[in-house]
Every structure is written in C-alpha cells, then in structure tokens.
C-alpha cells in the first residue's frame, strides 16, 4: 500500500510540475512580421408599414474591412512598437450611397502589451493566442484571434524576424 501512495504522490508531483511549466507564457522579444485582418459586420435597418411588415431596407452601418502589414518590435518594456501599412474601407458597397473606398495609409503605433500562456493583450484587446516555434522561451510564431465590440473579428499572426 505504501508503494501505491508513493507512486501516486510522484505522479501528482509530475503533473503539478508539468502544468506549471505548460502555463509559463513564452516571451515576445525582438522584431516580428505582423499581419492583421479585421472584419466588422455591416448593419442594415428596416422600414416597416403601420402593420409591422417590412417595406424596405437601409444601410445603418457599412461595416469595415482592414488589412495591416507591419513590423512589431517588442523591446521587453511591456510595449509593442508597430510600423507598417494599413488598407481600410467599408465592407459593404451600396450603389448610389455614401461609400468609403479602400484607403492605404501608414501605421505607427505604440501599444501596451502583455501575454499569458493562452492570450496576448495588445492595446487593451485580448486575443486568443497559439504559440509555436518556441526557442529559449521566446515565441517565434503566434496566431492571434480576437472579437471586438460584438460585430468585429481580428485575426493576426506574428512571425519573428530577429535571429
């Protein structure tokens, strides 16, 4: 009986140690190629007659679509410095209505950053994270996914370019 108790204690110790190791978040350090896609759903409204039947539609919100390619540098200070390009415009085009076509602009941002074993928080937005290619505790690739304000989704990747 004593051997079973020792074996169980050893097994539980190994589980506790491996769980602690698995929960240690990898670091983000150096320069990464950053790619983000953000898609926000457009919203249509309805016109109704006095009986409540729908008689027409109108665009309440055109939504938004954007793509970012940039370099994100993590200097180890709880910040991410992001420099690159952004193309953004309305997700829904309605002929004869106001429309914001795709616009290309420079991006230069300084975001607060933190991470756990399963998330990366960038500028206050928590992203689900899947880390891979971890070397010496540094993540060399991260897949990111976040939901913004109930109607937008952001999908991104970080790929380390610093040796």
Domain architecture of the chain: domains with CATH: 27-160 (2.40.128)
Question: What average pLDDT does the segment 63-87 reach?
Answer: 96
Give strand pairing partners of 131. Answer: 142
pLDDT surpasses 80 at 19: no
pLDDT at residue 4 in the model? 54
Cα 31 from Cα 67, distance rounded (Å): 19
For residue range 111-148, list pLDDT tens digits in order.
999 999 999 999 999 999 999 999 999 999 999 999 98
Residue position matching structure tokens 């500028």: 123
The two structure tokens encoding residue 57: 């539609």
Q: How far is CA 92 from CA 32, 103, 150, in A?
A: 32, 15, 18
Q: What is the pTM of this model?
A: 0.78
Question: What average pLDDT does the segment 136-162 reach?
Answer: 95
pLDDT surpasses 50 at 15: no
For residue range 78-103, list pLDDT tens digits in order.
999 999 999 999 998 877 766 778 99
pLDDT at residue 123 in the model? 94
Residues 76-92 as b/e (b if ≥16 CB within 10 A, e otherwise) read: eeeebbbebebeebbbb
pLDDT at residue 150 in the model? 86
């Amino acid at each position: 009986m004593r051997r079973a108790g020792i074996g169980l204690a050893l097994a539980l110790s190994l589980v506790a140690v491996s769980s602690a190791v698995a929960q240690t978040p990898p670091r983000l350090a150096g320069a990464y190629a950053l790619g983000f896609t953000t898609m926000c759903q457009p919203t249509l409204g309805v016109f109704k007659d006095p009986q409540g039947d729908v008689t027409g539609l109108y665009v309440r919100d055109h939504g938004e679509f954007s793509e970012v390619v940039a370099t994100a540098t993590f200097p180890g200070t709880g910040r991410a410095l992001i420099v690159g390009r952004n193309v953004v415009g309305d997700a829904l085009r309605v002929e004869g209505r106001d429309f914001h076509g795709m616009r290309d602009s420079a991006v230069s941002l300084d975001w607060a950053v933190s991470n756990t074993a399963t998330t990366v928080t960038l500028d206050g937005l928590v992203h689900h994270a899947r880390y891979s290619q971890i070397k010496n505790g540094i993540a060399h690739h991260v897949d990111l996914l976040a939901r913004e304000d109930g109607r937008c989704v952001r999908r991104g990747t970080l790929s380390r370019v610093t040796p």
